[in-house]
Amino acid sequence: MRVLLVEDDDLIAHGIQAGLRARGLTVDGVKTAAQAEAILSAVHYQVVILDLGLPDEDGMSLLQRLRADGMALPVLVLTARDAVEDRVAGLRAGADDYLLKPFDFDELVARLHALLRRAAGRSVAIIEQGALRLDPERGQVSLNGHPVVLSRRELALLAALLHARGRILSVDQLKDSLYGFSEEIESNALNVHIHHLRRKLGADLIETIRGVGYRFNMGDT
Amino acid sequence: MSLRLRLLLMIGVSLSLLWGGVAVWMLRDLDDEMRRTLDQRLAMSARMVAGLISQNPAAWDRRTGTAGDSALTVPATAKGIACQVSSLRGEVFARTPGATSAAIATTTPGFAEREIDGERWRSYTVEAHGLRITTADRLAERNTLLRDVMAAAIVPFVVALIGSLMMLWIGVRSGLVPLERLRQALASRAPDALTPIPDAPMPRELQPLVDTLNQLLERMRVTISRERRFTSDAAHELRTPLTALKTHLQVARITRGKDAEMALDYAEEGAARLQYTLQQLLTLAQVEGPFSWDETQRTYANEVARLAMRDAAPDTPELIVLDSDGPPVELALPQALAVTALRNLLDNALRHSPAQHSVRLEIQSAQDAVCFHVYDSGPGLSADELTRVTQRFWRRDAGRGSGLGLAIVVAITERCGGSLALAQRPTGGLEASLTLPRAKRESPLFPSTPQADSRP
């Protein structure tokens, strides 16, 4: 799951990025509204964390413009402005959620997962697919009731495939959701992660569509 | 006491006194006039009787003074009036039936008053043609008549007075309606409402009051909104480092090894930033507030420069080059304030200069002020930025400084009567000129309160 963090304060941005990475999310950080706009048009993200006090433009007007341009990504607004009017204005401008600084990190993570869940059209936090059970927020996976230990990348890969609900995801799409901008990717890294997932969860769980990509075997096709 | 009661009392009492006085005056006049008129009538009727008798000599014998053959009969008249005709010797020729002899048996001509049988009479006696004629009025009748006349005169008076007082009450009430409306308009407002009073039609006398109130409300609104903005800005400024601190502490908890250590380092940086912002906020509050500084200590420009340089660059004193002219000059403000102002300027200059580039501090003394010039070799400021740079919480980059440094300098100059000028240097970099007033005293004879007169 790939997150874009738009935050101009270095210290806060470092903290959020480090924390989200530790929680198995892939995060890219930008500091200005212009950078945010540029990167959003180039990379596919699942969720955006937006600070309102940006140096070049108010986060609220950036959000309004992005929504007007048809961006449908869930956006969590992060701000120090706590007046009710500010919150209402933020939600009206197209924010999906609103979190006040200083926030509790666990709450931020929980809200991000809730946003993703709603964006994927699910109402419960836990994804169940046949005998497989994934709690994306806690990073816990179980198969037939037995817990399975997955690495951070494997978890992210499994979550991306499950979110796609049987749609085929290209190699690039999968890499996008696994790695941030700053991370080095080895050419066969994705294959390695797919291999490990198959070993841990069963070989037929992930189908390879030759020349296209991968998809999760929903069991009904 | 309410305005209405005051008006009612003042006008009511004076109206009653005035009308009462006039009534008393009029009643006394009326009483005198009535008595005189009644007396005149008494005298006139006596003379009339004398005239009538003199035309009828048969009624009495002029020579003998006795009653003539033609008897003089007098019909019974109204009760309370009597008449008697007698000779000068006292023989009574005629008398009204009700009249007692004693009542009218006076011998001296003119008016007389006496009591007969428990009743007072007033009589008038006239002597003519050898006859004595006396007419008399019973005083009880007279007084009844007087009382009736008085009552007839006083009742309309009292009615008019009561009517006036009622009209007064109604008039004052309706006259004060706009005031009452204004009071209700004010009373029905929310306690924190700062909107102007609605511009309803007002009497000319109330308009200045409403205008003044509205001006006051507007001033309060501006002040309060400025304070609110400041509070909200301050909250924002404190929240940002607090957020960094909290986030990194929580990250440190969920990570291990190098990541956790790094998070703790960052958390410490956040705490330092929080501390710095808090210190700056407190300094600003102190400079702007009613706090006093130790003013017995004298402030010298070169000492201020030394302390400010030490505070701004404690570890790298070589980065600030001091260029001072002449002997030490005393300044007219507490040392702590002067040092804070200069240190903030030096902080800014160092922060925006390229690494290892020095900052130049120059002190110039003039007749009544000392000017500290701080030159840096940083990027300087655009014209637009120069106008905004002294605003509270304005910063060029997030995370550098508290955004309060120059605001504090400006607040200090406003407090002590100095000034701050920022200018782009033609050779690049920024020149900040801080002008502080010199102490007025020439000798140490007056060690206290020399600063008080130079402060705004």
Pinpoint the residues of chain B covered by CATH 3.30.450: 3-163
Pinpoint the residues of chain B covered by CATH 3.30.565.10: 292-454
Domain B292-454's class? alpha beta
pLDDT of B37 reads 92
Pinpoint the residues of chain B covered by CATH 1.10.287.130: 207-287
d(CA B50, CA A7): 132
Neighbours of A75 (CB within 10 A): 26
Distance of CA B322 to the CA centre of its chain: 58
Q: What is the mean pLDDT of residues B160-186?
A: 89
Contacts of residue A55, defined as CB under 8 A and 6 or more positions apart, other chains included, come to A8, A31, A32, B397, B398
Which one of A12, A22, A53 has the shortest CB-CB distance to B244?
A12
The predicted model scores a pTM of: 0.58
Contact B230, B392 (CB under 8 A): yes
Query: Is the Cβ of B143 closer than 8 Å to some Cβ of chain A?
Result: no
Q: What is the mean pLDDT of residues B187-211?
A: 82
Domain boundaries, chain A: 2-119, 127-216
Does residue B370 sit in helix, strand or coil? strand
For A127-216, CATH number? 1.10.10.10
pLDDT of B448 reads 43
B255–A18: do the CB atoms touch at under 8 Å?
yes
Q: Give me the DSSP letters along B29-98.
A: HHHHHHHHHHHHHHHHHHHHHHHHHHT-GGGB-TTT-SB-SS--------TTEEEEEEETTS-EEEE-TT
Question: Which residues of B, range 260-279, sit inside 8 Å of A by Cβ?
Answer: 262-263, 266, 269-270, 273
d(CA A109, CA A96): 14
Distance from CA of B6 to the nearest CA of A (A): 49
Contact B365, B302 (CB under 8 A): no
- pLDDT tens readout for residues B270-307: 999 889 888 888 888 888 777 777 777 788 888 899 89
- pLDDT tens readout for residues A122-166: 777 788 888 888 888 778 888 888 898 888 888 888 888 888 778
Radius of gyration of chain B (CA): 54
Q: What is the mean pLDDT of residues B18-25?
A: 92
Burial class (CB in 10 A: 0-12, 13-18, 19+), B58: exposed
Which one of B232, B236, B251 has the shortest CB-CB distance to A19?
B251
Which one of A9, A15, A103 has the shortest CB-CB distance to B248?
A15
Give the pLDDT band (50/70/90) at residue A108: very high
Tell me: pLDDT of A121 over 80. no
Q: What are phi and psi of B392, to 5 degrees?
A: -65, 140
Tell me: pLDDT of B238 over 60. yes
Domain B207-287's class? mainly alpha
pLDDT of B447 reads 44
Q: Which fold is adopted by the domain B3-163?
A: Beta-Lactamase (3.30.450)
Distance from CA of B232 to the nearest CA of A (A): 8
Give the amino acid at B245.
L
List B364's β-bridge partners, or say none: B371
Q: Is the dihedral of CA B85, B90, B92, B97 positive or negative?
A: positive
For A2-119, CATH number? 3.40.50.2300
Burial class (CB in 10 A: 0-12, 13-18, 19+), B147: exposed
d(CA A80, CA A19): 20
Distance from CA of B256 to the nearest CA of A (A): 9
Give the amino acid at B140.
A
- pLDDT tens readout for residues B325-354: 777 888 888 888 899 899 999 988 888 888
Interface confidence (ipTM) of the complex: 0.76
